[in-house]
Chains A and B, each alone.
Chain A
Amino acid sequence: MAVTQSSTFRFSRHFTDVLSHGYILLMCVVFVMPFLAIFQYSLWKGATLSLDGILGNYQFVFGSFLTNLQNSLMVTVTAITISFLISLPAAYAIVRYTFPGKRLVLSFLSISLYVPAVTLGLGLILLYNFGHLFIGSIWSVVFAMVVGTYPLMLTPLIVALKDLPPSFEEAAYCLGASRWQVLTRIVLPLIGQGIAAGVLLSFIIVFNEYLVTLFVVGTIPSLQTAPLRIFGLIRTAGLLNTTAALAAAMQIVSFVVVIAFFRIVGTRYLKGTYLI
């Protein structure tokens, strides 16, 4: 199999390689371009880079936008917790029990991912107002987020529970553990990675969500989350350095969380969820 490669062949091989890597690099740059533009603008005051600008803008973020950031944080933490609390029993039922119509149930529980955000938002605000539910409360947003994102918690939990052999739980019962002990000392620790994957996916979506929130609390300034505030500001005030600082801060936090997750937990439970 002694094939002498001509120099033209080698050149064209290298050329295609360079072109390929260059293409990947170009696309990667395109992906981060919007973020870098926002970040760059957040470092400016007006139209020029200034230290004054950097400190001033980010201070403004933690001053003026504090309510929005608090709302965002509260909604994210609460929505993820509630998602977990409703998904874990459902995942357990789906994995450990047999019952007719299991596939139908699973499809039904995943359907909210495929409903357009505008439809869900409009339906929820009309339902809330008509049913006098959660009027003027941040819980209107929380449950909107829960219903929209709990399938992202359900899927990794199902995968993680499938990986856990039932014999572990059965052995614990045999050794005299109570249901609560089995749950907290056997099941939860061993599906920890799945829980983390679900938390990550939900966090990315809920933290940066603005569309459903727009419909639900768009008219109540004190309940607005940070992305919604950004949306409103762009529409009313145009391109401000401070808005850019808020947007950049949100993206940086999201990115750090994702990278930390990839480093600490790994990507096993993200298979099939389009983040990997």
Chain B
Amino acid sequence: MVKLMAERETTVTPFQIGEVVETGARAPALLKTRLPVLLLLAPALAVTLVFLVAPVLFLLFISFTAGRSFLQAVPTFTLTNYTSIFTDYLENLRVSLGLALLATLVNLVFGFPFAYILIRKVQYRDIVRAFMIFPMFGALYIAFGMRFLLLSNGMFGPLIKALNSIGIQIPIYGLHSVIFAMAIFTFPFMVMNIGAALSNIDPKLEEAAACLGAKRWQTFVRVLLPLAMPGILAGVLMCFGWNIGAFAEPVFLGGVAEQRAIAWTMYQRGIINFDFGLASAMGIVLMIIAFAVTYFSLRFSRGALAD
């Protein structure tokens, strides 16, 4: 803005006060600084508009039409897709949210000590990081691997046979397997977030608390927790956001109840049954939930991650 004003001053001479010179002086200057930027941003913007914004807007449009009617010249517009999500398919939504919540809880309970030990006590962080890479390759491999693990002739064969012999049966398919697989998948994200928050807490604070007579749990509750809270919240929200779209785990490891996860239902209704209206509505609802969760997680992580 300062540059534009300076240019304007040089072009308006005392003889030409009556003439309109500003617009002429402003337009080339605008192009000069903005055009390169636009050209540079154009490819990325174009790709995002065509392959992200357009599909989502298209889904939004289809979600208000019934079934496959968007293919017709005059589609039938309806709100029943959305209403049926919250009536017939409410259970599916509830299952997905419930699974995500449970998995995130497991991540929090097991992830916080892990992050604390990793940051405060362990020197071989690089090796641990190498191990933490494996879950990130994808929920598909985790779900696949879990099925093998729980087979009676698999890796844990002897252990499972021993448990069976004393009457403890561990079914392969069920809530516990799905939650376990989902928790493994998002565990690294929880650890990263909490770890970043914890590494910003000066260990001297904990030592000071101990010197002043605080017991271990008091230090934890009154010093650590409040200071690490942004990171904890960011981790919780991030894991939740990733887990609501869980697809492979409920399919491969779930019983009848878990197979109602909304991502899987979306696939069945959309690709298999061609009820595009309903599937699109589910997609939009899922996206809105994911956006809301991510928005709040980013707001909290701004404070926790010091880049």
A residues with CB within 8 A of B: 17, 20-21, 23-24, 27-28, 30-38, 40-41, 47, 85-87, 89-90, 92-94, 97, 99, 105, 108-109, 111-112, 114-120, 122-127, 130, 143-144, 146-147, 150, 154, 204, 208-211, 214-215, 218-219, 227, 230-231, 234-235, 239, 243-244, 247, 250-251, 254-255, 258-259, 262, 271-272, 274-276
A262 / chain B contacts, CB cutoff of 8 Å: 126, 130
**Is A146 a contact of B47 with CB atoms below 8 Å?**
yes
The residue of chain A having its C-beta at the shortest distance from the C-beta of B297 within the complex is A114
Of the residues A30, A33, A112, A215, contact of B267 by C-beta under 8 Å:
A215
B287 / chain A contacts, CB cutoff of 8 Å: 115-116, 119
B71 / chain A contacts, CB cutoff of 8 Å: 130
CB distance from B60 to the nearest CB of A (A): 9
Tell whether B147 is near chain A: CB-to-CB under 8 Å: yes
**Is B117 a contact of A24 with CB atoms below 8 Å?**
yes
**A interface footprint on B248-267 (CB within 8 Å = 1, 0 otherwise):** 10011000000000010011
The residue of chain A having its C-beta at the shortest distance from the C-beta of B191 within the complex is A27
B34 / chain A contacts, CB cutoff of 8 Å: 99
**Is A255 a contact of B133 with CB atoms below 8 Å?**
yes
**Is A147 a contact of B47 with CB atoms below 8 Å?**
yes
CB distance from A258 to the nearest CB of B (A): 5
Query: Known: A97-B37, A105-B41, A274-B188. Is A143-B141 also a contact (CB below 8 A)?
Result: no
Query: Known: A105-B41, A122-B270. Is A20-B47 also a contact (CB below 8 A)?
Result: no
CB distance from A245 to the nearest CB of B (A): 12
CB distance from A43 to the nearest CB of B (A): 12
How many Å lie between the Cα of A43 and that of B121 in the bound state? 37
B294 / chain A contacts, CB cutoff of 8 Å: 114
**Is A124 a contact of B55 with CB atoms below 8 Å?**
yes
Query: Known: A123-B59, A143-B51, A231-B248. Is A37-B307 also a contact (CB below 8 A)?
Result: no
A21 / chain B contacts, CB cutoff of 8 Å: 117, 121-122
**A interface footprint on B227-245 (CB within 8 Å = 1, 0 otherwise):** 0000000000000010011
**Is B134 a contact of A255 with CB atoms below 8 Å?**
yes
How many Å lie between the Cα of A85 and that of B291 in the bound state? 27
**Is A210 a contact of B140 with CB atoms below 8 Å?**
yes
Query: Known: A93-B36, A124-B55, A126-B276. Is A34-B144 also a contact (CB below 8 A)?
Result: yes
Of the residues B54, B140, B245, contact of A231 by C-beta under 8 Å:
B140
Tell whether B90 is near chain A: CB-to-CB under 8 Å: no
Given contacts A235-B251, A262-B130, 6 further A-B contacts (CB under 8 A): A34-B184, A35-B134, A122-B283, A147-B51, A234-B252, A255-B134
B residues with CB within 8 A of A: 33-34, 36-37, 39-45, 47-48, 51-52, 54-56, 58-59, 62, 71, 110, 113-114, 117-118, 121-122, 126, 128-138, 140-149, 151, 153-155, 181, 184, 187-189, 192, 241, 244-245, 247-248, 251-252, 263, 266-267, 270-271, 276, 279-280, 283-284, 286-287, 290-291, 294, 305, 307
How many Å lie between the Cα of A93 and that of B41 in the bound state? 7
Of the residues A31, A86, A111, contact of B134 by C-beta under 8 Å:
A31
A-B pairs with beta carbons under 8 Å apart, 24 shown? A28-B131, A33-B149, A34-B145, A37-B148, A90-B40, A90-B41, A90-B43, A92-B40, A108-B45, A118-B245, A118-B247, A118-B266, A119-B287, A123-B283, A126-B59, A126-B280, A146-B47, A208-B138, A218-B271, A239-B151, A250-B137, A271-B307, A272-B305, A276-B129
**Is B137 a contact of A251 with CB atoms below 8 Å?**
yes
B121 / chain A contacts, CB cutoff of 8 Å: 17, 20-21
**Is B62 a contact of A126 with CB atoms below 8 Å?**
yes
**Is B133 a contact of A258 with CB atoms below 8 Å?**
yes
Of the residues A87, A119, A209, A274, contact of B59 by C-beta under 8 Å:
A119
CB distance from B272 to the nearest CB of A (A): 10
How many Å lie between the Cα of A231 and that of B174 in the bound state? 19
**Is B62 a contact of A24 with CB atoms below 8 Å?**
no
The residue of chain B having its C-beta at the shortest distance from the C-beta of A210 within the complex is B140
How many Å lie between the Cα of A82 and that of B153 in the bound state? 45
A259 / chain B contacts, CB cutoff of 8 Å: 130
The residue of chain A having its C-beta at the shortest distance from the C-beta of B121 within the complex is A20
A214 / chain B contacts, CB cutoff of 8 Å: 267
The residue of chain A having its C-beta at the shortest distance from the C-beta of B57 within the complex is A123
CB distance from A111 to the nearest CB of B (A): 7
How many Å lie between the Cα of A31 and that of B45 in the bound state? 38
How many Å lie between the Cα of A79 and that of B183 in the bound state? 29
Query: Known: A34-B145, A38-B148, A208-B137. Is A150-B131 also a contact (CB below 8 A)?
Result: no
Of the residues B40, B145, B251, B280, contact of A38 by C-beta under 8 Å:
B145
**Is A37 a contact of B154 with CB atoms below 8 Å?**
yes
The residue of chain A having its C-beta at the shortest distance from the C-beta of B266 within the complex is A118
